[in-house]
Amino acid sequence: MSDGRAGSQPCFARPTPVFARVHFREVSAMIYDLELYKIGKVYDNGTPAVIDFNLSVNKGEFIAFLGPSGCGKTTTLRMIAGFESISSGNMMVKGVRINDMRPADRPTSMIFQNYALFPHMTVRRNVGYGLEVKGMAKVERDAKVDRMLSTLGLDDIAEKKTDRLSGGQRQRIALARGLVVEPDILLLDEPLGALDANLRKAIQNELKLLQRTLGITFVFVTHAQSEALALSDRIVVMNQGRVEQISPPHQLYTRPNTPFVARFIGRNTIFQGAVRGVEDGRIIVDTPFGTLAGGANGDMSLGAAVNVVIPAEAMEVHTLNRTMRDTISRQSGGNVIDAKVNRFDVVGHISHLSVELPDGRAIALEAHIDKYPPGVFPAGSDVLLAWQPGQATVIPAT
Amino acid sequence: MQASGTKLALGIYTTLFLVFLYGPMVVLAILSFQTGPEGGPQFPIIEWSTYWYKHLFGLTPPTRIAPLPIEEALVRSLLLAVMTMIVSTVLGVTSAQAFRKKFTGSGFAFYLIVLGMMVPGVLVGLGMALVANALGVDRHWWGTTFVLHVVYTYPFAFLVMLAILNRFDQNVEEASWSLGVSPVKTFRKVTFPLIFPGVLSAMLFAFTLSYDEFSRTLFASGRDLTLPLAIYGTFSVEVHPNVFAFGVLTTLFSFALLGTYAALMMLSIRRARRVAIQEEA
Indicate yes or no: CB of A82 within 8 angstroms of CB of B177: yes
Q: Is the ipTM of this complex over 0.90?
A: no
pLDDT level of residue B101 (50, 70, 90 thresholds)? confident
Contact list in B for residue A174 (CB cut-off 8 A) is 175
Mean pLDDT taken over chain B? 86
CB atoms within 10 A of CB A396: 18
**Candidates A81, A117, A133; nearest CB to B178:** A81
CB atoms within 10 A of CB B75: 11
Q: For chain A, which domains are there? A: 18-107+183-254 (3.40.50.300), 267-396 (2.40.50.100)
**Candidates B171, B177, B279; nearest CB to A103:** B177
C-alpha pair distances (Å), B278 with each of A150, B20, B233? 22, 50, 54
| B223-254 residues labelled b (16+ CB within 10 A) or e (exposed) | eebbbbbbbeebeeeeebbbbbbbbbebeeee
pLDDT digit string (tens) for A196-217? Answer: 888 888 888 889 999 999 999 9
B178 touches chain A (CB under 8 A): yes
* Spatial distance between the Cα atoms of B247 and A266, rounded to a whole number of angstroms: 76
Q: Give the pLDDT score at A310.
A: 92
C-alpha pair distances (Å), A102 with each of A92, A108, B35, B182? 14, 11, 72, 8
Q: Give the pLDDT score at B274.
A: 55
B167 touches chain A (CB under 8 A): no
Q: Which of A120, A164, A219 to mutate to test the interface with B (most CBs of B within 10 A)?
A: A120
Checking DSSP bridges between strand A185-189 and strand A108-111, what pairing results, if any?
Answer: parallel
pLDDT digit string (tens) for A267-309? Answer: 899 999 999 988 888 899 999 988 898 888 877 888 889 999 9
Q: Which of B167, B179, B273, B278 to mutate to test the interface with A (most CBs of A within 10 A)?
A: B179
* Spatial distance between the Cα atoms of B280 and B151, rounded to a whole number of angstroms: 46
* Spatial distance between the Cα atoms of A359 and A289, rounded to a whole number of angstroms: 9
The identity of residue A364, as a single letter, is: A
Q: Which chain A residue has its CA at the smallest distance from B276's CA?
A: A122
Q: Which chain B residue has its CA at the smallest distance from A161's CA?
A: B273
Q: Give the pLDDT score at A9.
A: 39
* Spatial distance between the Cα atoms of A161 and A120, rounded to a whole number of angstroms: 8
* Spatial distance between the Cα atoms of B229 and B207, rounded to a whole number of angstroms: 17
* Spatial distance between the Cα atoms of A66 and A58, rounded to a whole number of angstroms: 19
B185 touches chain A (CB under 8 A): yes
Crossing angle of helices B71-98 and B192-211, in 10° steps, is 140
Q: Which chain A residue has its CA at the smallest distance from B271's CA?
A: A120
CATH of domain B71-239: 1.10.3720.10
| A194-212 residues labelled b (16+ CB within 10 A) or e (exposed) | bbeeebbeebbebbeebbe
DSSP structural state of residue B65: S
Q: Give the pLDDT score at A199.
A: 84
Nearest CA to A83 out of B174, B165, B184, B172 is that of B174
Checking DSSP bridges between strand A217-222 and strand A350-356, what pairing results, if any?
Answer: unpaired
* Spatial distance between the Cα atoms of A173 and A130, rounded to a whole number of angstroms: 13
pLDDT digit string (tens) for B206-250? Answer: 999 999 899 899 888 888 888 888 888 877 777 888 888 888 888
B265 touches chain A (CB under 8 A): no
Bridge partners (DSSP) of residue A317 are A385
Contact list in A for residue B272 (CB cut-off 8 A) is 120-122, 125, 161
Q: Give the pLDDT score at B138.
A: 86
pLDDT digit string (tens) for A85-122? Answer: 999 999 999 999 999 999 999 999 999 999 999 988 99
Average pLDDT over residues A363-388: 89
Average pLDDT over residues A38-57: 93
Bridge partners (DSSP) of residue A219 are A63, A187
Nearest CA to A141 out of A153, A156, A129, A157 is that of A129
End-to-end CA distance of chain B: 64
